[in-house]
A and B are shown apart, each in its own frame.
Chain A
Amino acid sequence: MADAPKIRVPKTAKKGEIVEIKTLMPHIMESGQRKDKDGKTIPRKIINKFVAEFNGKPVFSADMDPAIAANPYLQFNAKVNESGTFKFSWTDDDGTVTTSEQKIEVA
Chain B
Amino acid sequence: AFSVFGLGTGAQATPETAAAEIAKFAGGKAPVAGKITIELPEIAENGNTVPLAISVDAPMTEDDYVTDVLVLADGNPNPGVATFHFTPLSGKADASTRIRLATTQNIVVTAKTSKGAVYTASKLVKVTIGGCGG
Residues of chain A whose beta carbon lies under 8 Å from any beta carbon of chain B: 18-19, 31, 33-35, 41, 54, 57-70, 72-79
Contacts and interface: CB of A to CB of B under 8 A. Distances in A.
Interface string B96-118: 11111100000000000000000
A50 to B, nearest CB: 9
A77 B98 contact: no
B81 A67 contact: yes
Given A34-B133, A69-B48, A60 B86 contact: yes
Contacts of B95: 60, 62, 74-76
A79 B88 contact: yes
B50 interface: yes
20 contacts: A34-B6, A35-B6, A60-B85, A60-B86, A60-B87, A60-B90, A62-B85, A63-B82, A63-B85, A65-B78, A67-B100, A68-B82, A69-B99, A70-B49, A72-B98, A75-B95, A75-B96, A77-B91, A77-B92, A78-B89
A81 B83 CA distance: 26
Given A69-B50, A76-B90, A34 B5 contact: yes
A13 B116 CA distance: 32
A31 B97 contact: no
Contact of B84 (A60, A66, A67): A60
Nearest to A29: B100
A5 to B, nearest CB: 14
B94 A77 contact: yes
Interface of B: 4-6, 8, 48-50, 53, 60, 73, 76-78, 80-92, 94-101, 131-134
A35 B88 CA distance: 43
B132 A57 contact: no
B94 A76 contact: yes
Contacts of B94: 76-77
B133 A33 contact: yes
B96 A65 contact: no
B4 A31 contact: no
A70 B133 CA distance: 12
B134 A34 contact: yes
